[in-house]
Structure 1
Amino acid sequence: MKPLARRTLAALLLIAGYDHSALGMPSFNEVKADFRPSDTLILDRHGEILQRQRTDVTVRRGQWVALADVSPALRTALVLSEDQRFYEHSGVDWRAVSSAAWGNLWNTRTRGASTLTMQLAGLLDGDWRAGPGGRSVTQKLGQAVTATQLEARWRKDQILESYLNLVPFRGEIVGIDALSRTLFGKAAHGLDAREAAVAAALVRAPNAAPARVAQRACGVLQAMNAAPATPPAIKKAAPPVSAPAARSPAADCDGLDLFVTGALQRRAWPASEGLAPHLARRLLATGGPATPTRVNATVDATLQRFALQTLQRHLRELRGRNVEDGAVVVLDNASGEVLAWVGSSGELSDAAEVDGVLAPRQPGSTLKPFLYAQAIAEQRLTAASLLDDAPTQIPTAGGLYIPQNYDRQFKGWVSVRTALGASLNVPAVRTLVMVSPEAFARQLRAVGLPLRETGDYYGYSLALGSAELPLLALTNAYRTLANGGRFSEVAIRPPARPAKGPAAAPAGPALDPRAAYIVGDILSDPNARARTFGTDSVLATRFWTAVKTGTSKDMRDNWALGWSQRYTVGVWVGNASGAAMHDVSGTSGAAPIWAAVMQQLHARTPSRAPLPPAGLMAQRVSFGGQLEAARSEWFLPGTAQDTFAINSIADNDPSTLGRGQKRLKTVKTGPAQATRITAPADGTILALDPDIPPTRQRVRFTADAPGARWLMDGQPLGSGATVPWMPWPGRHRVTLVNAAGQQLDEIRLEVRGAGVRAVAYK
């Protein structure tokens, strides 16, 4: 017997005597179940892929690809390149073994006798993997034994499928899915003959130079051109793939060097792609230490796509107004599930990674509904109460606070319904004076708004949205209004046991349900907002909705938030950098996006007005002096009345007497009006600036009596309707007297600065 035959027989005897049961080789299903891609797939509520997010930076591994989804060209190229008798042998190609010398058989520099099954055995069992010095004889024999065991337990298509998904390619790339998407920018089923040849060449030499890979790929192409049709790979046994014929047609290798060089340098597979990158990061950040391969979300992919496209389309229409960012949130009112989470405008933004859903921004007028709801619940106001929308100066610890309306105009006496619907600033600040900033801050926290500071820190500007809040929390606060004042957290993961229809989220009372209903009734009233937005506003929908817009200082933030019977939608538009927009208001920025998303939600779903809760009563009211048209209004028990008028009107209108009119404290107008100091306001605090010359810090006192005389702390100051005064530190009393010395009006003020001296009031 020849030496080679004797060694082959010895190997056979070793394999035959090996205890197969001791190997514990996993099944195909176990291998597939243990496969872990480097990316996590975020699935929407219907199972559609919403986002792919890379979570393992140590390896580039795609999803498991079924053999039926692999390009036939690639299957042919791999078999021809690595194991031409794959469908004939039972794990070990003994024809290759017997035709080569023993040294060549186990030389790790070649794979002439290493079958695909043997290579898979090395991938599955680390004991058979080659080390720096190659495989030992024991490893080689163990690899052969494992290969025969695999062939006995697995089908050929399972072996080939597993190999394609586990084989390492170039660098960090493992598996055919990662290779196809990274180097060729397509799925594995789309690889053509040339791409398949390059992939097969990389199996043999993963990190070879491009020229070497191109040379081997050319040989694979030639073999593919000469081979007959690809045998079906899904059968356990199949006809052999013939070797290239002696006169095979020449493969088209022209330009292969350039193609290979370009492919090996390409990284067409981004770390993240899809419709919801910000939601994906949020899901993975709250998912625990173990990284799953698939995560289910509550988002609806169709709605997410529509919201993103609507945002991008509208921002393109605003091109030239310095606005490039935006965010959209859609919530299910009953369950609190997030149905859409658009964190940015994507390609339109220079800061696309910033999540506009979670980024804190100034909410502008969007806090007013909660302020009026609190005032109504505390019976400080009713929806018909009158508030003065006129210039005002409110003394604060830091000086005077002078609120302004958005349009720099004032509407005079208006009802609470008009003040909220038309989003007037001065009445809102007057209401906060009644409620107090700290009490309002507690109310905002009760509806889930994460204020960073106390109410006293923000002061009266809190009524106009001086605090910074995220869109998600603000949208959920509006959902609290939609749910009759009941607050519950939002959900981005579906419940463990899906129920029929949206499951109600655990909720707790955060607002008086009657006040919440009245506020919703105001925000759904087109007539209430007509003073500012007109009757033909984009906010008016064909179905029932309640909506509020907001714009922060210098037009840096733009909001539209509102709800229907089933959904709550929040939209923010602005710049992630904080830059001001150019002439973009609530109705031109965020509102059109809000209206489009709401229309999409109710294209086939009706939205009806909610029923009033128990404890509310409706009564027809009129307004003295024809301030507003008579209407039916909602009242809490004990607050109803049929006429509302200011004192001067009520005193001159006998029809208002004896009807329980609650008169507001106000200064009467008309000929009988008393002479008074019109500026500055009583209690004003002035702060001297050491960087400004004293002559430039004069205070001007004004009164509505041209012939009056002025006294400063009892000493003559001047006469006339206007007198200047150079302030000095301390507390002062300013008195207005007539020619006879009779006091007409008096105010007290304080000047703060270096060297404050106490002056006792006389």
Structure 2
Amino acid sequence: MFLGRPVLSAPAAWRRGLLAVLLGAALLPAVQAGVPSFHAVRQAWRPSDLPVLDRHGVVLQTVRVDGSARRLGWVPLTEVSPALMAALVHGEDKRFWQHSGVDWTGLARSAWQNTLNQRTQGGSTLTMQLAGLLDADLARPAGGRSVLGKVSQMSAARDLEARWRKSEILEAYLNLVPMRGEMVGVAAASQTLFGKHPSGLDAQEGAILAALVRAPNANAERVSARACGLLRSLAGQAEQPAAQALQDPRCQGLPLLAANAFARPGVKPLGEQVAPHAARWLWAQTVAQQRAKPGGQSTVASEDQALADTTVGALAQAWPAQISSTLDARIQRLALRALRDQLGELQQRQVTDGAVVVLDNATGEVRAWVGSPGLLSQAPLSGSGAAKLAAGAPDVDAALARRQPGSTLKPFVYGLALERRLITPASLLHDAPTQLAAGAGLYLPQNYNHRYRGWVPVREALASSLNIPAVQVGAMVGPDALFDKLNAAGLKISHSGGFHGYALALGSAEVSLMDLSNAYRSLAQQGRWSPWTAQAAATPKTRVPVPAPQAVFSPEVAFMLGDMLADNAARAPTFGLDSPLVTRGFAAVKTGTSKDMRDNWCIGFTSHYTVGVWVGNARGTPMQRVSGTTGAAPIWHALVQRLHEGQPSMPPAPPGGLVQVAVQQPGQALRSEWFLPGSEPEGVAALSSQAAARSGAAAPRFGIKSPVGGSIYALDPDMPPEVQRIVLDGEPGEWWLNGQRLGRTTAAQPTLAWAPWPGRHHLALRAADGREIQSLRFEVRGATLKPGAKIAKKA
């Protein structure tokens, strides 16, 4: 009898188990199992969250790459809290530092107590448990371990002790032991439950983690009771009922600490989390490269597809220990802070989302990638109203999302016309209401502010972002040619030029902020386009070959475009002399706003960087009273100023193929202008504004601009005839309708307003010498005019 219980009352199975344990020492040499080295185990460790490093090795973000378990980076024993190690060893294997893998005393006691139906104890040492973690065949099955399985585990433990140091065994165990839920290792448990690195755990937190090893998914009450027992036992206190033990000062607060830890939502690993969208893209590229065949194209259709297709078994052995990027942590923080501050200011104007991209001009490497200002980035918020930023769409990567770019496409429209020598920076364009045939109807573009300036030079038309001149130039080059040019600049526009029509010049197609910023970078690179990248090579052997740059524009055209976009005087009529587009050094910049104020853009380049900014709403709702200078431009300005602190942006040197000539347009001051050779005015003498106005010498020759041939006009019988006029617009000359002279237009008075009457009409424009410049036919339908209506009047 022992403690009042007969030995013979024990089940026969436990008696046989006790006998097997006693014979274990004799069997061990015959069951030796191969054990990997500590170095091999550590090298094979693959965390579920990989750190994403900036170009200087600073951790920007971590990205989840394995959804089956939560494992963080391998933690050396020197970085584990002594309190946790003490509690773990005391609770799981008190003689860990003395035995050689198998604690025969503890094993015999465990077998004896199990035989007597007392407390169930496994008797496994930390080394034996580690053997089960390293070899699935040695792990404890759900139905219990067989005698042979126990002996095999003991044999593996003896082999581990023979080949590994004690510190290595404990270190591997702390990293491999399953914890609560999906967590594996003390690093994941410490970060998820307590929000700290394992080195910072105090005695109570260490005791809770040690208690979880025995029962990972136990409730908070049970875990806190066991943790309290560990703390008291470490202090040499006698065992007490849980209710009394929890009154010990060492245990006070344990139940609340455990309850809060278990209720805590999963948090991201320690460190900054400021580039989530870049991290997702980088991991997708990593997956694609691991799956690509040797010499194949390592690209993916989308980052979401790559992440969804990831399988641990196929890729685990190929995972890198970290992901290197081209981002710069300092610039990334600046971009994120500038975006959040500005969106805080715009909260009353129904703006919730935005994105910022910074590219290195020389290499195309991404220095900053902010796809959203929302809480996904996990960085401190600032600015008035910043707490409301969560109302946006943090999961949407607005840097890669495709939106209408508005006027930001205009430089490429003008660039194509300059390249074809259809215009020069000094050419005059007529900023007035215009009608263009568009299929069976008419396209009637308007300026943003619904004001028109008459004849303006190309320089001012582009810098001031006038819509009518841009559409006129777009009509000169044609939608198909413009479509091809934009795609040559990497914008990946869908459909065709005919699908978009003349509206393509005003940004009717959809592009991404990243691609559009890179297209502007080509202007900074003398017209040479090359792809952008955010992926840095870990080693020279893994460097992805960069395609040779492609010429989008000639260096001369790229320089002229940059020079016009950097001309603050030329943009002043629209933006003023002191707008956010004005910087201390050189910067060529353009804003854009899409239809109904759904998107606002500001993209420009300095001598070193190209900065692109988008603000709007990811859900597509319009903003309220947000213009180019109040939406994205302040973010662009703040970032450009910070990027060039102590390093002023210098203007580029003009290419040798350009000619600089002094010119003077009507109403303009004398200034110098750049021309392609052969396109400059004859001589270098400036034209007088009076002579230009009289002769029309500076005015371009377009023929008839309005009406458009084949147009059909409908008269409204409910409207007074005096408000129903057809504007006759074109180059200076005499206008003839159905063989009758209507009047004459000049550079000073460029249009006539004609009161129409129903019928089919033939309109002709003749030069002063009687030569016909152009003729066309159109039709008017509807009610007749009242008698006495004027035929034409000056407008």
Q: Name the % identity.
A: 49
1:342 Cα shift?
0.3
Please give the alpha-carbon distance, in whole angstroms, between the structure 2 residues aligned to 1:598 and 1:503: 30
Q: Is 1:393 the counterpart of 2:432 in the alignment? A: no
How far apart, CA to CA, are the structure 2 residues paired with 1:5 and 1:412?
104
5 Å matches for 1:147-546? 147-226=157-236, 250-270=248-268, 274-287=273-286, 288=288, 289=291, 290=315, 291-347=319-375, 348=389, 349-495=391-537, 497=539, 506-546=548-588
Q: Deviations over 1:420-475 (max 9, x none)?
A: 11111111111112111111111111111111121121111111111111101100
Contact map agreement 1:197 1:217 (CA 8 A) in 2: yes
1:218 Cα deviation after fit = 1.9
Distance (Å, rounded) in 2 between the aligned partners of 1:648 and 1:553: 39
Q: Pick the aligned partner of 1:700 from 705, 719, 724.
A: 724
Partner of 2:143: 133
Q: Cα gap change, 1:604/1:101 in structure 2, threshold over 3 Å: closer, same or farther?
A: same
Q: Is 1:552 paired with 2:594?
A: yes
Cα gap change, 1:621 to 1:143, in 2 (>3 Å): same
TM-score, normalised relative to structure 1: 0.83
Distance 2:111 2:481 in 1: 91
Matching residue of 2:26: 13
Q: Structure 1 residues 5 and 113 mapped into 2: Cα distance closer, same or farther (>3 Å)?
A: closer
SS in 1 for 2:570: coil
Aligned partners of 1:722 and 1:608: how far apart in 2? 52
Where 2:568 maps in the other structure, the secondary structure is coil
**How many angstroms apart in 2 are the aligned matches of 1:24 and 1:5?**
26
Alignment of 1:621-700 (within 5 A): 621-623=663-665, 625=666, 627-641=667-681, 642=684, 649-650=691-692, 652=694, 664-665=700-701, 681-683=707-709, 685-686=711-712, 700=724
Q: 1:103-143 CA distances to partner (integer Å, 9 max, x unpaired)?
A: 73999984452111111111111121111221111111111
Deviations 1:399-435 (A, max 9, x none): 2222211221111211111111111111111111211
* Separation in 2, partners of 1:293, 1:694: 77
The C-alpha deviation readout for 1:314-358, integer Å capped at 9, x for no partner, is 110122011111100011111111111100111314211111111
Encode CA deviations 1:693-714: one digit per residue, 9 max, x unaligned. 997999934589xxxxx99999
Partner of 2:777: 748
- Matched AA of 1:24: G
Q: 1:50 to 1:711 in 2, by over 3 A?
A: closer
Structure 2 residue aligned with 1:760: none
Letter of the 1:732 counterpart: R
TM-score, normalized by length of structure 2? Answer: 0.80
Paired residues of 1:646 and 1:666 also in contact (CA < 8 A): no
Comparing 128-137 with 320-329, greater Cα deviation is found at 128-137
The one-letter amino acid of 2:223's match is V
- The separation in 1 between residues aligned to 2:446 and 2:472, in whole angstroms, is 12
Do residues 97 (structure 1) and 107 (structure 2) align? Answer: yes
Separation of aligned partners in 1, 2:643 and 2:727: 57
Q: Distance between the aligned counterparts of 2:579 and 2:725, measured in 1?
A: 43
SS in 2 for 1:413: strand
2:151 aligned partner, one-letter code? L
Tell me if structure 2 keeps the 8 A contact 1:336–1:488: yes
Q: Secondary structure, in 3 states, of the residue corresponding to 1:226?
A: coil
Partner of 1:35: 45
Q: One-letter code of the match for 1:300?
A: D
The reply to whether residue 61 of structure 1 matches residue 71 of structure 2 is yes
CA contact (8 A) 2:756 2:780 kept: no
Q: Deviations over 1:12-37 (max 9, x none)?
A: 1212x2364xx221111111111122
CA displacement, residues 239-261 of structure 1 (integer Å, 9 cap, x when unaligned): xxxx989x999354345334433
In the TM superposition, what is the alpha-carbon distance from 1:186 to its structure 2 partner?
2.1
Which one has the bigger helix percentage? 2
- Give the secondary structure class of the aligned counterpart of 2:761: strand
Inter-CA distance 419–651: structure 2 relative to 1 (3 Å threshold): closer
| Cα 1:378/1:712, change in 2 over 3 Å | closer
TM-superposed CA distance for 1:684, in Å, is: 5.5
Aligned-partner residue type, residue 14 of structure 1: L
Residues 429, 699 of structure 2: 8 Å contact kept: no
Give me the whole-angstrom Cα distance separating, in 1, the residues matched to 2:708 and 2:25.
108
Query: How far, CA to CA, are the matches of 2:118 and 2:657 in structure 1?
Result: 86
Whether the 8 Å contact between 2:406 and 2:507 is mirrored in structure 1 is yes
Q: Does the aligned pair in 2 maintain the 1:371–1:440 contact within 8 Å?
A: yes
Change over 3 Å in CA distance of 1:378–1:196 after alignment to 2: same
**How many residues are paired up?**
692
- Whole-Å separation in 1 of the counterparts to 2:185 and 2:468: 65
Deviation at 1:296, TM superposition (A): 0.9
Question: How far apart are the structure 1 equivalents of 2:350 and 2:85?
Answer: 53
State the AA in 1 paired with 2:77: L
User: Following the alignment from structure 2 to structure 1, what is the Cα–Cα distance between the partners of residues 81 and 18?
Assistant: 40
SS of residue paired to 2:235: helix
Q: Is the 8 A contact 2:725 2:756 kept in 1?
A: yes
Partner amino acid for 1:385? S
Q: Distance in 2 between matches of 1:31 and 1:106?
A: 39
After superposition, the Cα gap between the structure-2 partners of 1:644 and 1:426, relative to the gap in structure 1 and judged at 3 Å, is farther
How many Å separate the matches in 1 of 2:71 and 2:115? Answer: 31
Q: Distance in 2 between matches of 1:182 and 1:308?
A: 26
Q: In the aligned structure 2, how far is the partner of 1:100 from the partner of 1:262?
A: 34
Q: Deviations over 1:623-675 (max 9, x none)?
A: 2x4x211111111111111468799943737xx9xxxx5652379xxxxxxxx
2:299 aligns with none
Query: What CA RMSD, in Å, does the superposition of the two structures yield over aligned residues?
Result: 3.8
Whole-angstrom distance in 2 between the partners of 1:649 and 1:427 = 23
Structure 2: runs of 5+ lacking an equivalent: 1-6, 8-14, 292-314, 376-388, 729-735, 741-751, 765-771, 783-795
Q: Is the 8 A contact 1:524 1:547 kept in 2?
A: yes
